[in-house]
Amino acid sequence: MKCRKCGEPAILELRRHNAAFCAPDFVDFFRNQVREAIRKHRMFARDEHVLVAVSGGKDSLALWDVLIDEGYRTTGLYLDLGIFDYSVESKAKCEAFAARRGVPLLVTRVAEAVGAPVPVIKNVTRRPPCSGCGLSKRYLMNRVALEHEMAVVATGHNLDDEAATLLGSVLHWQTDALSRQSPALPSTHRKLVRRVKPLYRLSERETAAYAFLRRIDYIVEECPFAKGATSIAHKEILSRMEDASPGAKHNFLFGFLEKARPAFERAEAVTLNECARCGQVTTGTVCAFCKLADQVKRATV
Ligand code: Q46
Ligand code: ZN
């Protein structure tokens, strides 16, 4: 197996691209895919300050690594979910990365913002942990970006994540989720920052290879609540399809983005208001985050 670019022995085969690369050319390929994503979806301009949401995992740290090397002005945001040792360790990985690369890192504690950490939120709401966690993460990313006058938040979602989310939405025909599934969500309100996913063209295996080759020290363990999440089951199904037919995940996601998404976008135009409590964007009167914080407060005082 030889590198497609230089002919030297390859270290990684990418079957969906019908290609193989040596280490330096794979790193180049990876960065090119990120550049292409940013260019194609006009994710951010050269002079924009980008808030990079980092979890301590391979994807978000790989993304931060590429953006730093590409010369973007970035600040990391670590949301401390308060999930036992997992949070302690993943925070340490983010802090070590930021210190090594000499870049700023903001830390926001969910326990402070909502009134309790994710495991308590899960008990109070009696809903799957990812529900309160995901809601809090989306809300806080936006709030922190606004507070620091940054117009864009970048997350480390990769091709596998996006294809699995798409499969979940299609299985339940969640048309509102389908309208929002995009590598770049523009700001549709002055209090809503742009949300972008520059790794959407790269698979989980590719981000793992990039992180390894770049010697990025990341947390290997998954969040303990990830086990049993339906998104994991969807990822497994898609990986089986990928094994049988390389490119299946890519075709599923990219086909949707190019051919189907525009139809859902038109169908789901909604009016946005400012939350009567916190001033952030909501479709109702009081936002879901403020309602969650109220529920936690009632249950814990
Ligand atoms: S951190 Fe939070 Fe994830 Fe853990 S509780 Fe679920 S959403 S699995 S990416
Ligand atoms: Zn609110």
Question: pLDDT (tens digit, 9 = 90+) per residue, 43-100?
Answer: 999 999 999 999 999 999 999 999 999 999 999 999 999 999 999 999 999 999 999 9
Q: Give the separation between CA 79 and CA 129, rounded to whole angstroms.
A: 15
Tell me if 294 is assigned to some domain.
Answer: no
Structure confidence at residue 219 (pLDDT): 98
Pocket test for ligand 1, best of 122, 130, 157, 230 (most atoms within 8 A of CB): 130
Q: Is the CB of 226 under 6 A from ligand 1?
A: yes
Mean pLDDT, rounded, of the chain: 96
Is this prediction's pTM over 0.85? yes
**What average pLDDT score do residues 266-281 get?**
86
11 falls within a domain: no
Whole-angstrom Cα distance, residue 97 to residue 299? 37
pLDDT of residue 258: 96
pLDDT given for residue 270 in this prediction: 78
Provide the pLDDT confidence category of residue 289 given band limits of 50, 70 and 90: very high
Question: Which pLDDT score, from 0 to 100, does residue 230 have?
Answer: 87
Q: Is the pLDDT score of 134 beyond 80? A: yes
The count of structural domains within the chain is: 1
Rounded distance from Cα 129 to ligand 1 centre (Å): 7
pLDDT number for residue 300: 86
Structural domain range at position 196: 31-267
pLDDT score at 77: 98
| 223 CA: nearest ligand 1 atom | 4
| Rounded average pLDDT over 231-253 | 95
Tell me the mean pLDDT in the region 113-139: 95
**C-beta pairs of 223-227 under 8 Å, 24+ apart in sequence:** 223/81, 223/83, 223/86, 224/83, 224/84, 224/86, 225/83, 225/118, 225/122, 225/128, 225/129, 225/130, 225/133, 226/130
For residue 223 and ligand 1, the question of a CB distance below 6 A is answered with yes
* Nearest ligand, CA 222: 1
Q: Looking at residue 203, which CATH number applies to its domain?
A: 3.40.50.620
Distance CA 301, CA 293 (A): 12
Q: For a substitution probing ligand 1, which of 89, 225, 231 has the most ligand atoms within 8 Å of its CB?
A: 225
Residue 205 included in any domain: yes
Residue 8 lies in a domain: no
pLDDT at residue 229, rounded to an integer: 85
pLDDT band at 269 (very low <50, low <70, confident <90, very high): low
The whole-number pLDDT of residue 264 equals 87
Q: What is the mean pLDDT of residues 214-240?
A: 94
Is residue 293 in a domain? no
| Ligand 1, atom 6: closest residue by C-alpha | 130
Tell whether 19 is covered by a domain: no
Residue 99 Cβ contacting ligand 1 at under 6 Å: no
Residue 267 has pLDDT above 70, yes or no: no
What are the E-state strand segments in 141-282?
152-154, 184-185, 194-196, 273-274, 281-282
Confidence category of residue 278, pLDDT binned at 50, 70, 90: very high
Instruction: State mean pLDDT over 198-221.
Output: 98
Residue 285 lies in a domain: no
Give the pLDDT confidence score for residue 265 in this predicted structure. Answer: 81
Does 110 map to a domain?
yes
